Structure 1
Amino acid sequence: MSLHDDLTSVQRRLDDLMRCVARLDEQAGDSLDMRRVRADAAHLRESLGLLQASAPAAAGSRTVDMVSISDAPYDRGLWTDAEDEGLGSPYRHAP
């Protein structure tokens, strides 16, 4: 399944959950546990909405821009006073 299909499937199941929570709320009444279930279901709905909003952006950001690197040699001035990694300064003896 594609990401879009999975998100649609989760949305349908979440809609079913919200309907069941509403029916349960009518039967169970307003209690601390029922408020917690309502809050958790609402939090799931918000989180799924955020995921759906960011999913197209994440799928579209996978394009890679090519960066061309010149074949011209580097300016030797860039390496002035640089030490060779692992060998130390050219003025000292290597171990």
Structure 2
Amino acid sequence: MSVQDDLAAVKRRLQDLEHTVEELERRVGTEQTSRSAPTGSRAQSMVTIPDAPYDSQKWTDTDDEGLGARDRHAP
């Protein structure tokens, strides 16, 4: 393929992408307008998390995120 062919193919793909994004924006816009006002059910499903520290006995066998287990060293 020549450079001109590559550029034409890229241009077509960009146009397809723009068309797809516009279509998605339209769909999202129609979904947002079709939804009704939120009801009070959302407030009922909320859970209050206490500020007290967690019981450390529950976390004895867990790994620190990305660091490995507490009693072992990373390789």
Q: TM-score, normalised by structure 2?
A: 0.42
Rg larger in structure: 1
Higher strand share: 2
TM superposition score normalised by structure 1: 0.35
Q: Which has the higher contact order (CA 8 A, sep 6+)?
A: 1
Q: Which has the higher helix share?
A: 1
